[in-house]
Amino acid sequence: MAEHPILTPEEVQQHAEAASRVLAELRRVVLGQDAVLRESLLVLLAQGHVLLEGPPGTAKTLLVRSLNRALGLEFRRIQFTPDLMPSDITGVSILGAGGTFTFRPGPLFADLVLADEINRAPAKTQAALLEAMEERSVTVDGIRHAMSPSFTVFATQNPIEFEGTYPLPEAELDRFMIKSRLGYPTAAIESGVLDRVLGGFESSEVETFGIATVLDADGLSRLRKAVRRVRVQPALVHYITALVRATRDAPALTLGASPRASVALLKLSQAAALVDGRDYVIPDDVKTLATAVLRHRVVVAPELELEGVSADDALTTLIQRVEAPQG
């Protein structure tokens, strides 16, 4: 296996500053959601996909539109509904005048794709999205069509107790690198939102966001390549493995996380280190991200769920029990 060249201190500083500029622009628009903003950027750098969960009106769509504005990429929004067909998102082959078929790309063919209310979509349409997420391509009439190199899905869902929503299958959930949760803002943050509206902000008009484009597709590509060059010591590799494997033996869980979770936690930890200005991963990188990486991949035992124990509760206990490397 070829070794990635070591990052120089100058490169680390340059990449960390680029990521910091993106986060600074996002914080100007999406107020009080710093953890989710950071997680979303880390997933983008680690070349994964994000599942955003929260009640209506908690800035899920605004977050993605703001991120796209800061990066200057191509953005598409798909509203998932019970009657949405696979071809509605992947595209169709159209018979031309000369008797030849021409592929007309669907809205999936963009850099950042917002799959809004994904848990309202039928199974066939979700399966088409799965192929694009996993293979970074779609197959229409037997022909493979590649997605953009920057292709990233940000799927939103309301909590499952909302009417007309259904839990996503475990196989589909596993394709999301992270599940971020957005809650209602504090009183102070909500007042800040109203002040911005009085100042002319409109969530439906990107021009009012006041966000500068501080990165582009090439800059994002350089950051992604740098993430893969962040060093991970063998002890931390073993720690990530132990954390994920512990979910499979925990009495509180009836379903543990797959090896895909280990890969996700590794890549995200590398991204976190680079964003924080380091060329090496530390245990806190892993600990901080573990719950968001694992919460949608595990299932709490029914008897504990009835007692009000959530996946986050069970994972917090588990993470505390797995010994982290020292030094």
Record the tokens describing residue 211, joined without a space.
């966000």
Q: How many C-beta atoms lie closer than 10 Å to residue 192's C-beta?
A: 14
Q: What is the pLDDT at residue 5?
A: 85
Q: Determine which helix (DSSP H) or strand (DSSP E) holds 70, and give its type and residue range.
A: helix 60-71
pLDDT digits (tens, 9 = 90+) for 300-309: 999 999 999 9
Determine phi and psi for 276, rounding to 5 degrees: -85, 5
* Residue 1 banded pLDDT, cuts 50, 70, 90: very low
From the options 2.40.30.10, 3.40.50.300, 3.30.470.20, 1.10.540.10, give the CATH code of 32-38+48-222: 3.40.50.300
CA dihedral 307, 312, 314, 320 (to 10 degrees): -140
What SS3 class is residue 18? Answer: helix
Averaged pLDDT for residues 68-75: 93
- DSSP for 118-184, written as a single string: GGGS-HHHHHHHHHHHHHSEEEETTEEEEPPTT-EEEEEE--TTSTT--PPPHHHHTT-SEEEE--P
pLDDT at 314 over 60: yes
Q: What is the pLDDT at residue 126?
A: 84
Averaged pLDDT for residues 220-235: 96
pLDDT digits (tens, 9 = 90+) for 6-52: 899 999 999 999 999 999 999 999 999 999 999 999 999 999 999 99
Greater confidence, 165 or 158?
158
pLDDT at 143 over 80: yes
Q: How many C-beta atoms lie closer than 10 Å to residue 17's C-beta?
A: 10
Which one of 79-93, 123-137, 252-266 scores highest in mean pLDDT?
252-266
Q: Is the dihedral of CA 37, 43, 49, 51 positive or negative?
A: negative
Q: What is the pLDDT at residue 154?
A: 95
